């Protein structure tokens, strides 16, 4: 047995697991094989030598953000060479004004993806997922709207959540006229997974908009801002993320709050009312300190809708950005799932 993949429907429980078999075996599971595991282990050994991402002061995020922007010079030109049109907008919804980045293919569009980037709420922007989104556009025949939400340090977490809600309301309410009747899938990664789930909870106040959602794809998100058990256990050997600083980082994101206050939804989506939520696809790595967040949210979500959950062996946080066979197979599975959801909502 190489790993596990769980499929949750309303009639199944966490623990009903099916092994992920080698690629040579006939199976609907992700074809993770021994070569993928060996490659990921080699990658993890390199990651063990690299600095971990953490927010212990205000200057580290500023430096990382500056380097990120430098690396993105010419990104619009790159997207256009790939056959995409690029548009930056400032949109208003409710009391919020927020930036969005719209990527469109040259051909037909079957649906729209609302993309919410990661970066620990403190770094990142709507451009950072251009490569992933371009591949998704090609594979799924979708347009992508990426949210340029304000970052921690400039805005408190509730205002960041408000930015994402504003972008979702704008899109679902016909913000792009030609896509008004198309299904919408929400995609979020890491902190973006948290913001995506929190956005779904808040959208329930507008049933007409909420019911347009065809599904959600969530990669290793943060769903308990008081710190799940795996976050509290994270040690110095954690890859990618600064394990010992994670709980303190969540507290810094929510200053002055008690653990009970941090667990109030939508701040912590894990404890929200998920009734009516659309089907979901979730991925998390076995070596990710956010493992429990995804497992627990999947357990709750499956009570109201179908959830397909993949727990990737040996995978650390952020693994979809690594050039590995496992990452490629995960992204291909996500594309298949999105296409299937768009087919079902026609």
Sign of the Cα pseudo-torsion (203, 116, 43, 232, in order): negative
Domain segments of the chain as ranges: 77-344
Q: What's the length of the chain?
A: 346
Please spell the DSSP secondary structure of 74-101, one letter per residue: THHHHHHHTT-EEEEEEEEETTEEEEEE
Tens-digit pLDDT profile for residues 66-103:
676 777 677 778 888 888 999 999 998 878 899 999 99
- In the chain the beta strands, taken as DSSP E runs, fall at 4-8, 17-19, 85-93, 96-104, 111-116, 142-148, 184-189, 213-219, 280-285, 307-312
pTM value is 0.89
Question: Distance between CA atoms of 231 and 296, rounded to whole angstroms?
Answer: 13
User: Which positions of the chain have pLDDT values less than 70?
Assistant: 1-28, 55-60, 62-66, 68, 72
Q: Establish how many alpha carbons lie within 13 A of residue 72's alpha carbon, considering only the half-sphere containing its beta carbon.
A: 15
3-class SS string, 51-73: CCECCCCCHHHHHHHHHHHHHCC
DSSP 3-state percent helix, strand, coil across the chain (nearest 5): 40, 20, 40
Judge contact between 301 and 280, C-beta under 8 A: yes
Q: Which fold has domain 77-344?
A: Rossmann fold (3.40.50)
204, 218, 212, 217: which is closest to 184 by C-alpha? 212
Question: Distance between CA atoms of 212 and 224, rounded to whole angstroms?
Answer: 26
107: left (phi over 0), alpha (psi -120 to 50) or beta: beta
CB-count exposure of residue 191 (10 Å: 0-12, 13-18, 19+) = buried
Q: Are strands 4-8 and 85-93 parallel, antiparallel or unpaired?
A: unpaired
The pLDDT of residue 66: 67
Chain centroid to Cα 73, Å, comes to 24
Tokens of 317: 């946080």
Question: Distance between CA atoms of 187 and 177, rounded to whole angstroms?
Answer: 21
The pLDDT of residue 28: 42
The pLDDT of residue 11: 37
Tens-digit pLDDT profile for residues 6-23:
443 333 333 333 333 222
């Amino acid at each position: 047995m190489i790993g596990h993949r769980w499929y949750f429907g309303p009639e199944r429980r966490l623990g009903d697991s099916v092994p992920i078999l080698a690629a040579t075996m006939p199976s609907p599971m992700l074809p993770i094989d021994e070569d993928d595991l060996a490659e990921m282990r080699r990658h993890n050994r390199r990651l063990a030598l690299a600095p971990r991402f953490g927010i212990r002061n205000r200057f580290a995020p500023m430096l990382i953000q500056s380097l990120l922007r430098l690396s993105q010079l010419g990104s619009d030109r790159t997207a256009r060479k790939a056959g995409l049109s690029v548009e930056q907008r400032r949109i208003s919804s409710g009391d919020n004004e927020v930036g969005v980045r719209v990527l469109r293919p040259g051909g037909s569009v079957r649906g729209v993806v609302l993309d919410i980037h990661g970066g620990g709420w403190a770094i990142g922007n709507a451009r950072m997922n251009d490569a992933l989104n371009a591949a998704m556009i090609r594979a799924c025949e979708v347009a992508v709207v990426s949210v340029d939400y304000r970052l921690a340090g400039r805005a408190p977490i509730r205002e960041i959540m408000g930015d994402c809600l504003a972008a979702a309301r704008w899109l679902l309410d016909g913000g792009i006229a030609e896509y008004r009747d198309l299904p919408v899938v929400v995609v979020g990664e890491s902190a973006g997974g948290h913001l995506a789930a929190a956005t779904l909870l808040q959208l329930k106040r507008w049933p007409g908009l909420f019911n347009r959602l065809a599904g959600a794809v969530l990669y290793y998100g943060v769903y308990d801002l008081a710190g799940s058990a795996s976050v509290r256990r994270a040690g110095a050997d954690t890859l990618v993320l600064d394990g010992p600083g994670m709980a303190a980082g969540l507290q810094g994101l929510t200053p002055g709050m008690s653990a009970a206050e941090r667990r109030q939804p939508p701040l912590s989506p894990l404890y929200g009312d998920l009734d009516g939520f659309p089907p979901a696809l979730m991925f998390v790595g076995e070596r990710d300190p956010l493992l429990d967040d995804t497992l627990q949210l999947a357990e709750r979500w499956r009570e109201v809708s179908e959830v397909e959950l993949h727990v990737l062996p040996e995978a650390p946080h952020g693994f979809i950005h690594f050039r590995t066979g496992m990452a490629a197979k995960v992204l291909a599975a996500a594309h298949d799932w999105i296409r299937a959801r768009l087919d079902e909502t026609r």
